[in-house]
Amino acid sequence: MLYYCSTNRSVTLNLNLIIMANPNINIKYTQIFINNEFVNSVSGKKFPVQNPSTEKIIAQVAEGDKADIDKAVKAAKTAFARASPWRKLKPSERGVLLLKLADLVERDKTILASIETLENGKPFSGAEWEISATVEFLRYYAGWCDKIHGSTLPSDDGTVVMTRKEPIGVAGQITPWNGPVVITAIKWGPALAAGCTVILKPAEQAPLAILYLAALSKEAGFPPGVINVVPGYGPTAGAALAEHPDVAKIAFTGSVEVGKKIMVAAGNSNLKRVSLELGGKSPFVIFDDVNVEEAAQIAHEAIFNYSGQICIAASRVYVHSKIYDAFIKKSKELAIQRKVGDPFDPKTMQGPQVEQDIFDRAMKYISIGKKEGATLVTGGERQGNVGYFIKPTIFSDVTDDMTIAKEEIFGPVQSILKFDTMEDVIKRANNTTYGLGAGVLTNDINKALTFAQAVESGSVWVNQYGAVSTTAPFGGYKQSGIGREFGAEGLEQYLETKTISIKLTESA
């Protein structure tokens, strides 16, 4: 099991790791990666990437636009052409390349984790975990390469019907800044296992670790044009990829708002296949038969991990009225103890928000929470003057009609609501346009399963929160997404099924 968010991960440190984290790492790759070469953008433009802990610019990156997307799509199309070096590889040879890439990521784990911590402010231990998960995803999908096949089907006499699973073609992928490296592996793994070629547009806030990963893909031996990375802004480079007529499929992870634009772009262009992993307002239900201290600890990590900037953050905590006050007391203690600061410091549990806009957005919701009458238990303010740090914030007496209980905050803000009955809490948990994650803590198997079956959510965690596995489908109900990533279902996103019917000239 991997954990997007767990009680034990963000605090797991060892001496080895402390010595290796490198905040002064040299950023080597800042250009667009097409055909296995790093090149400048056609326009010559660059954009800055900032360290959110210091607000200093750490790199100027080539800014891709429509012209660069066109170049990358052309390269990916050529690499996908019939009888190209990539198409001529045996499936098992594709697997070997993915395994090599995984080995190189493992070799350069510290470099990748250090770059990621620099660009998105994730505590180094979390970034290191993310790189380990990247290795697991690449190895998992490497194993699929030579196990993708169709079937022979029952048919009328004298006819043989069989299906073939074929790669969908050139795949466009647009990713966010909060888990840039692992989310890339979650998209490259199945696409490459299926035999597709890819163009990835990373988030403008965090393109650097992905460009390093692109360099590793060349070292692993992927033929030119199979993997392309075009950094740039969403409305320009991202939109050009989503609209491109030669892109057969687009996979997107990000906000609901942009997810809707991606679907429109797909519909307006070539009806490319679309998979979306979007936001959430995940309910976490805590019954009165649990150990309150442990429950508060699990709920604490479930929201404050990576400063609340995770799609499955448990941002609505429903606590049974019998333990409500004790739960608030323990949650407050934990929030006050949570060490916020330099993400390279091994004692740090929470780094900054990724950028000014995301910081402002969280602060806006905090002020709305106060105005609408929620009780501010702790936090609610900026920490320090430099960097986008926010103190872990808890609101109690939150009601379902309040904005902080309805909208995705993407910040370190825990909203705690009170409930009494199963029926009531199911209704309230489902009263949202989202449906990505949900959790329940109880020692009663009947309660756990009743809730797990009734909640409208792609993933449900029982007596834990945030565990994901390479093998288990992950995605959203309702406006939290379309399609599933991870596991065999993730692979299906990159495959077409062809039916071949053969009329036999002689029957047995």
Residue numbers 132-191 binding ligand ADP by CB under 6 A: 174-176
Instruction: Confirm or reject binding of residue 48 to ligand ADP (CB under 6 A).
Output: no
Cβ(225)–Cβ(79) below 8 Å: yes
CA geometry: angle 72, 475, 241, nearest 5 deg: 15
Cβ(494)–Cβ(190) below 8 Å: yes
> What are the residue numbers of the active site?
277, 311
SS3 439: strand
Q: Which residue has the tokens 């080895």?
A: 16
Please, is 456 exposed, middle or buried when counting C-beta atoms within 10 Å of its C-beta (0-12, 13-18, 19+)? middle
Rounded least distance, CB 176 to ligand ADP, Å: 4
Cβ(178)–Cβ(310) below 8 Å: yes
Rounded least distance, CB 454 to ligand ADP, Å: 29
Rounded least distance, CB 402 to ligand ADP, Å: 22
Cβ(70)–Cβ(33) below 8 Å: no
Closest CA to 274 of 481, 480, 71: 481
Instruction: Confirm or reject binding of residue 207 to ligand ADP (CB under 6 A).
Output: no
Instruction: Confirm or reject binding of residue 380 to ligand ADP (CB under 6 A).
Output: no
Of the ranges 157-165, 187-195, 253-261, 464-472, which one interacts with ligand ADP (CB under 6 A)? 253-261
Cβ(244)–Cβ(166) below 8 Å: no
Rounded least distance, CB 73 to ligand ADP, Å: 15
Structure token digits, residue 160: 């043989």
Residue numbers 471-490 binding ligand ADP by CB under 6 A: none
Element (H, E) at 327: helix 324-337
Instruction: Confirm or reject binding of residue 121 to ligand ADP (CB under 6 A).
Output: no
Cβ(308)–Cβ(362) below 8 Å: yes
Residues 214-233, mask of contacts with ligand ADP (x by CB under 6 A): -------------------x
Nearer to ligand ADP, 97 or 211 (CB): 211
Nearer to ligand ADP, 198 or 429 (CB): 198
Instruction: Confirm or reject binding of residue 235 to ligand ADP (CB under 6 A).
Output: yes
Instruction: Confirm or reject binding of residue 258 to ligand ADP (CB under 6 A).
Output: yes
Closest CA to 161 of 150, 169, 171: 150
Q: Tell which one of 71, 100, 187, 261 touches ligand ADP (CB under 6 A).
A: 261
Nearer to ligand ADP, 175 or 305 (CB): 175
Cβ(177)–Cβ(354) below 8 Å: yes
Structure token digits, residue 267: 């519909």
Of the ranges 100-108, 198-206, 328-336, 417-425, which one interacts with ligand ADP (CB under 6 A)? 198-206
Q: Tell which one of 204, 277, 301, 485 touches ligand ADP (CB under 6 A).
A: 204
Q: Compute how many residues bind ligand ADP; rule: CB under 6 A.
A: 17
Interface residues toward ligand ADP, by CB under 6 A: 174-176, 201, 203-204, 233-235, 238-239, 242, 254-255, 258, 261-262
